[in-house]
Amino acid sequence: MRLGVNLDHIATVREARKAKEPDPVQAALLAELGGADGITVHLRGDRRHIKERDVKLLKDVVKTRLNVEMAATDEMVEIALEILPHQVTLVPERREEITTEGGLDVVLQGEFIKPAISKLLAAGIEVSIFVDPDPDQVRACAKLGVGAVEINTGKYAEGERVDQELEHISKTAKLASKIGLKVLAGHGLNYRNVTPIVKIEEIEELNIGHSIVARAVYVGLERAVREMKELINRR
């Protein structure tokens, strides 16, 4: 199983003082030294943490894979077409939210995001969509021609109805794999709750950010990534 490390909150600390450090680009190098299989950042419309400068530099220095989360807006698509990350993950986005609060409703918004997907795919960028663990959402993604889905583990990670949410995730992952989609997962995963998700065989990659950055405050980023990588390698 691969580990994608989300570095948004390295930039959050930087932006708290509008300073030059900590630098998510330097953090990416340490994450890769710790065993990260990819680097993920979310370029938001309000630029609250990650900036275009970060994404451009990350494309140049990341030796694994660069995954850019973004909304399916004209502005974001143009940026992606300029920078050409390895992958774009389309996510919902609301200015008032602290972090992404749920999956993209592809059933309702499929026609809206279809032009963005077509442009990204035509440029050779892999496209994934962040969705809730819902079979209808996965089927809608497949119809749009994307190669992967990232299943939202947020409700599971919140600790309510854990067994039920884990079952939803597992069934959705099985369906996605059966219809030919790569299966990724993430949101709210940490060192305590990741193991049951790791055991779902269809999931190929986890994207984890906040808990790794929080752990890094105590032990350093390279070690924090290595510890998470060790956990997910136990599947």
Q: For residue 229, what are the contacts with CB-CB under 8 A and spacing of at least 6?
A: 3, 34, 35, 36
**What is the three-state SS of 28-65?**
HHHHHHCCCCEEEEECCCCCCCCCHHHHHHHHHHCCCC
Q: Is 69 a catalytic site residue?
A: yes
Q: Is 86 a catalytic site residue?
A: no
Chain length of the chain: 235
Q: Is 42 a catalytic site residue?
A: yes
Task: Select which of 165, 187, 202, 222 is catalytic.
Answer: 187
Task: Select which of 9, 42, 49, 168 is catalytic.
Answer: 42
Task: Select which of 9, 32, 49, 69 is catalytic.
Answer: 69
Radius of gyration (Cα) for the chain, nearest Å?
16
CA distance 186 to 88: 15
Residues marked active site are found at 42, 69, 187
